[in-house]
Amino acid sequence: MLSPSELTSLFNLISDDSKTFENIINVFEKTYSKSDEFKIGITLWFLIKDNLLNLSQTIISFLILNNVFKNENKNIFPLILDRIKNTKNNIEKKFLIELLKNNNFSFNLKISIKNLIEEIEKTNEKNFDLNIINNFNINKEKIDGFFKDWIRPVIYEKNSSEKNNKPFNFSQLIPQELSFNYFEPNFMTFYPNSSNEFYDEEPLWIAPCLNHNFLYDFNKCEKEILFNLLSKELNNIIINENEKKKCLLIIEKNVNILKEINFTPEKFMNLIENDQNFAMNLILKLKKNVLIEEYLSQFLIKKFSAKSMIVLKEIIENVSLPKSFINKYIKHVINDFKESDDKNKMARLILYFVIKLLESKLLSKEEFNFDEIEILFCVSNEEIDKLKKKIIEIKQQN
């Protein structure tokens, strides 16, 4: 299979979203020989299937796969169909549906991959016409079963020509055959699929005595589990609800584990942008620990965002914070407002934030300097005018 240096080279290639599709294919064809293409195809599909790539890496991988197979007068429709069915990312789904059109691809491939993603994102499409899938004469049941039952790593196959009726000696297994630290085996074997329907020339692994449980060490240290799951979130790979609960339970048992895995306050702010609700639940686990002060300090440094303001409001409602911190934060976002290009939106969010805190008594009007937010009054529309009026009413209340 691919050597470590070839894997590193491949990963660097799919990670550079500043290149255009044409640049990527040129580098790919200069770096790898024709004989490497099958191994590269398997490697890229494993990475995609296991959700180990971010959005740009996935798109580049599909473009490479499509280009390789197109040159062989074949296609990767089964892989695309499977991914469309399973991905939750609307940008990726839109891209793959376009890729299914083959020569009718509507996006400009002469721009960088980063700009291509931005162009797709501008379409803001959430409901897709999946009728295009019906245009492909593919046995979907067989394809679905094939992907669902694809396992790795597996036991190495013996030469099928050997006539040996003795049972397999499991004591001869080497560690690489049972460990997920090994990237991939030399051969791939399938176990009977869940539908119990088999096809001509389909390889089967019939061994009733064999336990098909995952060959995975579930006693892996909690530190490594938490690090891996949070790394996925930071790379915009949203983990499932059970995995989120697992993270929160680990943190609840030992808050300092966040420092041990180098989950910095800066990373926490990035997590807010990727998964606001999960970030909110995570920070609330720190409410009785002094560590929360380090994470809160980032709200006074980072540029304003609607998501970070929502998370901070939740923190203020659940954690006893000094009034001086809230006042400092309001000053900070007002400074950001002065440099903002979208003053309407920002003024509305800040005024709404202040009103909610004043109404719930989380911010005392006696300690709050109303003069500071008067700069927001320079913006005017129907909604903001209502919020201004509300602010003035609160200020005049006895």
pLDDT per residue as tens digits for the range 193-241: 444 444 444 444 444 444 444 444 444 578 888 988 999 999 989 899 9
Q: What gap in Å lies between CA 59 and CA 62, rounded to an integer?
A: 5
Neighbours of 221 (CB within 10 A): 9
Residue % of the chain over a pLDDT of 90:
14
Residue % of the chain over a pLDDT of 70:
71
pLDDT band with cut points at 50, 70 and 90 for residue 153: very low
pLDDT exceeds 70 at position 119: yes
Cα–Cα distances (Å) from 93 to 96, 97, 140, in that order, read: 5, 6, 18
pLDDT band with cut points at 50, 70 and 90 for residue 277: very high
pLDDT exceeds 60 at position 145: no
pLDDT band with cut points at 50, 70 and 90 for residue 395: confident
pLDDT exceeds 90 at position 266: yes
Mean pLDDT on 274-288: 91
pLDDT digits (tens, 9 = 90+) for 299-354: 999 888 889 999 998 898 888 888 788 888 988 998 888 888 888 888 888 888 88
Mean pLDDT on 270-288: 91
* pLDDT at residue number 212: 47
* pLDDT at residue number 241: 92
Lowest mean pLDDT among 5-9, 110-114, 274-278: 5-9
pTM: 0.44
* pLDDT at residue number 247: 92
